[in-house]
Amino acid sequence: MQKFGAEVEADLSRLTVVPQPEYQRIGLFGGTFDPPHVGHLVTAINVRHALNLDVVILMVSHDPWQKSGVRDVSLAADRFALVEAAVHNVEGLVAGRDEIDRGGPSFTADTLQSLADKYPGAKLFTIVGDDAAAGLPSWERVDQVVAQSQLVVVDRPGVSVELPKQFEWLRVESPRLEVSSTDLRSRFADGRPTDYLVTTAVLNEIQIRGMYGSGERITRS
């Protein structure tokens, strides 16, 4: 029997479409990204490849509570703009703003929960460099972090650390680049070269925003 017009529409309206989550395997790579550099990008790209992740989210912390009392941290909106510039057109990398939108101190446990809510059923991976891994015991609700995600640790050259024995993690090989945001900030401050340590797009955004003493803030037309 053929069906026409309204009858077909009525049938279609009874079909339930089960939405497929956009991402099934998600890497969460959190940081201050003040500024984001090639060490971050090379790490994110290689972990994504090694673990066959749909996406790695470079999650910009709103308030990196372990740093903010110790040094001046650039405005979250500026750091987010730099990360967006860094990942623009890079397949499988995105800038995350959940922690900025949530406000307050940035706890990875909360971020994983919001990712689990947003992408039900997805497998989550928390990616950290050696230095961050060494600090895991001091993280807020770290037991939730390890329960909700697979920890992934990458080499951080120049950092010699004892990793906490109580956690299980995967180690992923990535080219070891001894680059840090701290070194970059001091390079910007005293005018030493930053070429190839940050991407050109990030460098442009730093100059537009007048960050790190890189000159007058340029007003966009």
Applying CB under 6 A, the residues found at the interface with ligand ATP are 31-34, 39-40, 43, 128-129, 131-132, 154, 156, 177, 179-182
Share of the chain residues as helix, strand and coil, in percent rounded to the nearest 5 = 40, 15, 45
The distance of Cα 156 from the centroid of its chain, to the nearest Å, equals 16
- Token pair recorded at residue 189: 């401050």
Q: Which residues contact 162 (CB under 8 A, 6 or more apart)?
A: 134
Cβ closest to ligand ATP, residue 24 vs residue 201:
201
Nearer to ligand ATP, 22 or 182 (CB): 182
Smallest separation, CB 42 to ligand ATP (Å): 7
**28 within 8 A of 59, measured Cβ to Cβ:** yes
- Residue closest to ligand ATP when measured from CB atoms: 129
Shortest distance (Å) from residue 48 CB to ligand ATP: 14
Least distance between ligand ATP and beta carbon 18 (Å): 35
Q: Which is nearer to ligand ATP, 24 or 183 (CB)?
A: 183
Q: What is the DSSP letter of 25?
A: E
* DSSP 8-state secondary structure symbol assigned to residue 192: -
Quote the least distance from Cβ 130 to ligand ATP, whole Å.
Answer: 6
How many residues comprise the chain?
221
d(C-alpha 141, C-alpha 157), whole Å: 27
Tokens describing residue 28: 């969460």
Q: Residue 199 CB, nearest distance to ligand ATP (Å)?
A: 14
Asked if omega into 35 is within 30° of 0 (cis), the reply is: yes
111 vs 180, beta carbon nearer ligand ATP: 180
Nearer to ligand ATP (CB atom), residue 56 or residue 132:
132
Q: Residue 54 Cβ, how far from ligand ATP at the closest point, in Å?
A: 20
Which lies closer to ligand ATP via its Cβ, residue 5 or residue 137? 137
Distances (CA, A) of 138 to 65, 120, 143, 150, 159: 11, 28, 11, 18, 18
